[in-house]
Structure 1
Amino acid sequence: MSSDVFKRFTNDDGKFKETLTIDVQGLLSLYEAAHLRVHGEEILEEALTFTVTHLESMGPKLGNSLKAQVSEALSQPIHTNLPRLVECYFGAVGLHFEPQQSRARIMTGKILSILNIVDDTFDAYATFDELVLFTNAIERSCDISAMESVSHNLRPIYQVLIEFLNELEDELKKEGKSDRIYYAKVEMKKWIKSYFKEAEWLNACYFPKCEEYMENAITSIAVKLIATISLICLEELIISKETLEWVTSDSSILRASSILSRLKDDIMGHHFEQQRTHIPSFFECYMKEHGVSKQEAYVEVQKIMENAWKDINTELVCPSQVPMFALEQAINPTRLTLSFQVNDFMNTKGGFKDSLLVAG
């Protein structure tokens, strides 16, 4: 198909019509199409310049959902982005590369996909009232029977969550270990509750203190949720009740691992997140609370991360009732985060894909 088809969007002087800026979705479509240009297609070069200029200027005036969509598109066009499902696959393989851990690999890949969906929903697409109903349904029963109380817009997401838990339980039941699903549900509820806390802060325009932010953030980063699902899915290993209780506790290594992932995420993504309506990152919290510059906050973050690694190393070298394979589940999500320098092992801004290309 010739790029001349885009001439219908131009005036007699060859310039793109200003009326195109009225339709934001149409402008986004033109922007994405421009990324398929080849050498010599000047009209698509002009289309790219035109759409970028107008999308950037209209960003602050848009509603949260549309603003997030525009910001993400400008940061990473669809054509140049690695599909999220592929990213989830690589994340799952990174966590469970052993051939015998097929079940853990499959279920971890699925929860990584769900993390992305829920994160986007809470951050950009759902209203606060919808999130209230959604969170209440999860906390009350974490069961399909509560779906009627969820708003219609969020029922598909709620259903995905419940179907994942049901599938996980069915898989565990094959080995007579369906009781382990309890621990996954415990962490799922904690995780959703932490996301809702952030939604409450945003809705109230509340600026949390550093300690308050971190106490919630070490749950919202989902390291414990991923570690729990990873652990209960491991095959060919004897996992005691004490170990299962440990993974849902506030142990030093799980806390330190979560802090590392949370702060690495803030380092990589806080500038992008602040371009849309979003709660402050640890950087903003620290700068406001202590009256320091961004660079000074960064130095403090590095110190906190170094101390977190020391906490992890202490747990690894000291005698413990927790088996090493369980400790590995606590730190592997963070290892993956630090290796690929992205949030939740995926990044709509291209970091994961770029790291894979460099590694290859």
Structure 2
Amino acid sequence: MAPAAAVLSNYEEEEIVRPVADFSPSLWGDRFHSFSLDNQVAGKYAQEIETLKEQTRSMLMSAASGTTTTTLTLAEKLNLIDIVERLGIAYHFEKQIDDMLDQIYNTDPNFEGLEYNDLCILSLQFRLLRQHGYNISPKILSRFRDANGKFKESLSDDVKGLLNLYEASHVRTHGEDILEEALAFSTAHLESAAPHLKSPLSKQVTHALEQSLHKSIPRVETRYFISIYEEEELKNDILLRFAKLDFNVLQMLNKQELSEVSRWWKDLDFVTTLPYARDRAVECYFWTVGVYSEPQYSQARVMLAMTIAMISIVDDTFDAYGIVKELEVYTDAIQRWDISQINRLPDYMKISYKALLDLYNDYEKELSNDGRSSVVHYAKERMKEIVRNYFVEAKWFIEGYMPPVSEYLSNALATSTYYLLTTTSYLGMKCANKEDIEWLDKNPKILEANVTLCRVIDDIATYEVEKSRG
């Protein structure tokens, strides 16, 4: 790359035409800046939660061991697990749930019992086992097909069974035709039945058809299911109360985290100093709750939200304001990752450059308390990678170059941000060690496949908007 002075001197006196995008302002204002936790309320909730947690733990352990006064049926065990998970409290009982599922699976690994002639039971067990890592063949659903290989029309009267079959069909993998057929069959019959059902089943069916459980955002789904479960005649009051309190406590934690992110963002004052960029800190934080919602990942959510917000500034600098000569210097400065490079940059770029380096310095200081500061290096390298690829895309646009799909994807997988965000999501997770992040750094197939999917879906969803902005 040419020295900065040589690059900048050619246009310092020129009138510069910038590709400014017209982003809408933030909807949120200062709403989340000043949240203050009510410690008295939080303490009261915490005490009751501990009591309810132990009652629920005993419930699950008894169900697994068969030591309850009345031995639970298979259907009751599966429903208990399903309800605990849908209510958003399963993270308290991972071992107990794993033990229950292991016991259920080992009791009849070939699904030969008469209870598996029940569509509801078999579909629910299939989904739960798959979601917990069991390699279950979908061929077990063949018993519900007729002589012509079609799902039996008599199943259309079993709405709960169809609903569970529908949810089970969403954990399919490539080539599992029977689950593709199950999806089409269950969807058609649920759509037909929905207008004639009573609440809460009608609400569940309508909601599921709009958004399957497997593809939902966990905390949003939890809030929805709490309301649905409250309408159930046979609801468990202990579980319901526990779920409500736990949701409220986690929500208070989320507000604290969002307040921290919002104050950091306000202090940076990008809204004033970089008006060309998006003001989306709240949305960036919300995205992280979809990645991990459990309380032990509080630090991880904050760090990931700040990274997403920061990369939005860098992205908009490339897409919505910078010209190619400036971007060349900016790209090189970020590759060097040295605050002394700041003097090479135009004034507006100095703001985001310093903020970027400061952010990662803060990460290193924060993680040094756990002896994990060295992992920040991998996140920095991902940031450098995405900036290099942003610059390639900027040159393509300026030159009017239309790359072949293969060339585009080789560059665009990084600019999707998912390599960067996946690595960053590990930073604040104390359970993630250096070896885990080194594995990610090699772009394993599972990561590359997911990044490719996200890239293509993003391009499809944003094509019209991106085209209108140039």
Name the TM-score class by shorter chain. Answer: 0.5 to 0.7
CA drift of 1:184 comes to 1.1
CA gap 1:272/1:238 in 2 versus in 1, 3 angstroms: closer
1:259 alignment counterpart: 452
2:442 alignment counterpart: 249
**In the aligned structure 1, how far is the partner of 2:412 from the partner of 2:440?**
17
- Residues 64 and 276 in structure 1, CA contact (< 8 A), matched pair in contact too: no
1:336 alignment counterpart: none
- Residues 104 and 234 in structure 1, CA contact (< 8 A), matched pair in contact too: yes
Q: With the length of structure 1 as denominator, give the TM-score of the two structures.
A: 0.54
1:272 alignment counterpart: 465
**Percent of residue pairs bearing the same amino acid type:** 37
2:19 alignment counterpart: 65
1:150 alignment counterpart: 345
Greater shift, 80-89 or 120-129, is seen at 80-89
1:211 alignment counterpart: 406
2:280 alignment counterpart: 84
**In the aligned structure 2, how far is the partner of 1:145 from the partner of 1:78?**
33
**In the aligned structure 2, how far is the partner of 1:79 from the partner of 1:103?**
25
Q: Structure 1 counterpart of 2:329, which letter?
A: L
Q: Give runs of ≥4 in structure 1 deviating > 3 Å.
A: 63-66, 77-83
1:177 alignment counterpart: 372
- Partner secondary structure for residue 275 of structure 1: helix
- Residues 426 and 432 in structure 2, CA contact (< 8 A), matched pair in contact too: no
Q: How does 1:164-203 map to 2 (within 5 A)?
A: 164-203=359-398
Q: Structure 1 counterpart of 2:330, which letter?
A: F
2:420 alignment counterpart: 225
Deviations 1:83-131 (A, max 9, x none): 6121112112221211011110110010111121111111011111111
CA gap 1:185/1:80 in 2 versus in 1, 3 angstroms: closer
- Residues 195 and 220 in structure 1, CA contact (< 8 A), matched pair in contact too: yes
2:324 alignment counterpart: 128
- Residues 18 and 323 in structure 2, CA contact (< 8 A), matched pair in contact too: no
1:287 alignment counterpart: none
CA gap 1:172/1:80 in 2 versus in 1, 3 angstroms: closer
- Partner secondary structure for residue 234 of structure 1: coil
**In the aligned structure 1, how far is the partner of 2:26 from the partner of 2:437?**
40
Q: Structure 1 counterpart of 2:314, which letter?
A: V
- Residues 331 and 388 in structure 2, CA contact (< 8 A), matched pair in contact too: yes
Let me know the Cα RMSD of the aligned residues: 2.2
Q: How does 1:1-360 map to 2 (within 5 A)?
A: 64-66=18-20, 68-69=21-22, 72-73=23-24, 84-140=280-336, 142-235=337-430, 237=431, 239=433, 241-277=434-470
Deviations 1:160-183 (A, max 9, x none): 111111011111111111111211
CA gap 1:224/1:238 in 2 versus in 1, 3 angstroms: closer
CA drift of 1:232 comes to 2.4
Q: What are the ranges of 5 or more consecutive residues in structure 2 without an aligned counterpart? A: 1-16, 32-278
**In the aligned structure 2, how far is the partner of 1:175 from the partner of 1:78?**
35
- Residues 133 and 151 in structure 1, CA contact (< 8 A), matched pair in contact too: no
Q: What are the ranges of 5 or more consecutive residues in structure 1 without an aligned counterpart? A: 1-62, 278-360
CA drift of 1:139 comes to 0.9
- Residues 18 and 322 in structure 2, CA contact (< 8 A), matched pair in contact too: no
